[in-house]
Amino acid sequence: MGVCFHNICVRDKDNKWRGLSVGLLENSRRFFTFMILTTPLMNLKHLIPCIHLFLLVSYSSFAQTKQQRRILFENLGDDSVNLHFNSEYRLIEDSCAAIIRYAHYSFQRRVFYGKFKDVAKDDPAIIIAEGTYNTAGLKDGDFITHYLNGNLRAKVSFKNNNLDGECAMYYEDGRPALSFEANNGDCRIIEQWDMSGRKTIDNGNGAYKVSVGYISWTGKLVNGKPDGKWEAISTMGADKDKVLVKEKFNNGVFQKGNNQVGDYTEASRIVLVNTDELSFITAERLFTSYAGCNAVKRKTIVNARFPYGTEAYSNEINQLVSSYLGKQDLSVYSGELAIEGAVLENGYIGDLSYRDFTFDKIGRGLINALRQLSALEPALIDGKAAKQKIIFTFNFSGNVYSFKYRLLPLN
C-alpha cells in the first residue's frame, strides 16, 4: 500500500495563493482520496491566476490502464465555491454531475461554513439539500434533504453539530421511514416503518433495527429507548450474520456490554440513528467518485435477509413446518422436495410452487406454512427493493425430515 499526492492551487480570502494537496491512498485495486491538506506556495513567479480549480486524480487497477480525471471546483472568490457531485454525493466531473452545491468552503480549515444549497443539475428548481454551518464549520439549525425525484428525504435539526429537536426520514417514494426526537445528540425513537409500509415502532415501542456501516443493531425499544437484550450483527464478509456485540438495558439505562475485546460497563455502543444516511454528511468528506463519466456503473446489490439473523429465521421455519408435518404420516414419503419461491419486494415469501407431485399433499401444506413466515428485509438493487428467488429443500426418510433454504443470486 502506498500514498501519493496531487497539488492544486487556490486563492484564499487574503488574496494569497495556497497549495491544496489531495492525498490519494493506493490499495491493491485503485487510488482513492483520503485526506486534504493545505500548504503555502513559496514560488509563485510562474503562476498564472485561474478562475477554475481542477483536481487531477489518477485511478488504476489490475488489467486496466491508468485513467486520469479532471474534477472541477468553481472558485467564485471569498471562499465561495460550486461543487459537482454524483447521486451518491461523491465529487465527479461536472459534465455528468447529478447535483451542484453552492456553498462557502474554507480550504485552510477544510470545512463548509455559512448557508449552502444543493440543487439537481437537470432541474435546479429541485433543492436536494440546504442548511447552515456556523463559523466553526459545525451544523446548526434546520437541514432539509430531498431525493432527485423531488420527494422529501429527511428533515432534521442540529445544535453545535449534534442532532437536536424533532426529526424525520422518508423513503424515496415519499412514505415515512423514521421519526425521532433528539436532545444534544441523544435520540429517542418515536415511529418506524419498514419498506412495505408496516409500522414496526409505534409511540416508541416495538422491535427496532438500525444498520450502521457493516453492522446491524437489533433489539426492543420501550418509550423510544433500548430495553432488555440488544445485539450487533455483522452484515458483510466472512463474519456475516455473526453476533459481534451484546448489550443489556433496564428501562433505557445501559447495564453492561460484551464485544470481541471483552466486557464493558462505561457506555453503550449503540447508535440509534445512522446519520450517514443524511446526504450532506457524505458531502462533507469530499470523497471522489470511483468511476468517471464514461464508466459503466456496477449495480449495488444487497441480498434479502432476516433482521434477526439466519439462525432466528431457520427457527421460525422449523416452528411453522414442524407444526404441520407433526400431524402427517411421513413414513410414505422418501426423497427430496424442492419448493421454489421468491422474497417479494415487500419482504414476504410468495410465488411458491413445486414440481414433484409425488409430494402433492404435504407440498401444498408446506406452502401454506411457508406463507406465514415473517417478512424479511427485501433484496435491494441500487437501493430499490427487488424480488429475489428462494428455494426451500425438504429431505424425507421414514418418519424423519430435514430442511434447508437458499437465496439465488440476483442478476
Q: Write down the pLDDT at residue 39.
A: 36
Cell representation of residue 259: 464485544
Query: Mind listing the pLDDT tens digit for each residue in 237-285?
Result: 667 778 889 999 998 899 999 988 889 999 999 999 999 889 999 999 9
The dotted CATH code for 301-407 is 3.30.1150
Q: Where are the domains of the chain?
A: 2-213+274-284, 214-270, 301-407
Q: CA torsion angle for 87, 296, 347, 202 (degrees, to 10)?
A: -10
Lowest-confidence segment of 3-7, 125-129, 275-279 by average pLDDT? 3-7
Give the angle subtended at the CA of 347 by the CAs of 320 and 371, to the nearest 5°.
30
DSSP 199-264: EEEBTTBEEEEEEETTEEEEEEEETTEEEEEEEEEE-SGGGTT-EEEEEEEETTEEEEEE-SS-EE
**Quick count: other Cβ atoms within 10 Å of Cβ 51?**
8
Q: Report the alpha-carbon distance of residue 158 to residue 187 in Å, rounded.
A: 12
Do you know the residue count of the chain?
Answer: 411
Q: Closest by alpha carbon to 69, among 286, 299, 289?
A: 289
Write down the mean pLDDT value for the chain: 82
More confident residue, 6 or 99: 99
Q: Report the alpha-carbon distance of residue 39 to residue 6 in Å, rounded.
A: 12
Residue 107 has pLDDT above 90, yes or no: no
Q: Write down the pLDDT at residue 67.
A: 59
> Which range scores top for mean pLDDT: 27-41, 155-169, 270-284, 324-338?
155-169
Q: Report the alpha-carbon distance of residue 338 to residue 354 in Å, rounded.
A: 6
**Quick count: other Cβ atoms within 10 Å of Cβ 9?**
17
pTM for the full predicted model: 0.65
Mean pLDDT on 371-376: 90
Q: Report the alpha-carbon distance of residue 340 to residue 181 in Å, rounded.
A: 43
Q: Report the alpha-carbon distance of residue 30 to residue 47 in Å, rounded.
A: 31
Whether the Cβ atoms of residue 336 and residue 393 lie closer than 8 Å to each other: yes
Lowest-confidence segment of 37-46, 269-278, 328-337, 381-390 by average pLDDT? 37-46
Residue 309 has pLDDT above 50, yes or no: yes
**Quick count: other Cβ atoms within 10 Å of Cβ 317?**
18
Residue 90 has pLDDT above 80, yes or no: yes
Per DSSP, the chain holds a count of helices (H) and strands (E) of: 3, 29
**Quick count: other Cβ atoms within 10 Å of Cβ 279?**
21
| Helix H or strand E encompassing 6 | strand 2-11
Mean pLDDT on 147-161: 95
Query: Mind listing the pLDDT tens digit for each residue in 195-246?
Result: 888 899 999 999 999 988 888 899 999 999 999 999 998 887 667 778 889 9
Whether the Cβ atoms of residue 21 and residue 37 lie closer than 8 Å to each other: yes
Query: Mind listing the pLDDT tens digit for each residue in 7-43?
Result: 333 434 444 434 443 433 333 333 333 333 333 333 3
**Quick count: other Cβ atoms within 10 Å of Cβ 367?**
16
Q: Report the alpha-carbon distance of residue 229 to residue 249 in Å, rounded.
A: 7
Give the angle subtended at the CA of 235 by the CAs of 260 and 2, to the nearest 5°.
75
Q: Write down the pLDDT at residue 66.
A: 52
Q: Closest by alpha carbon to 118, among 136, 98, 133, 92?
A: 98
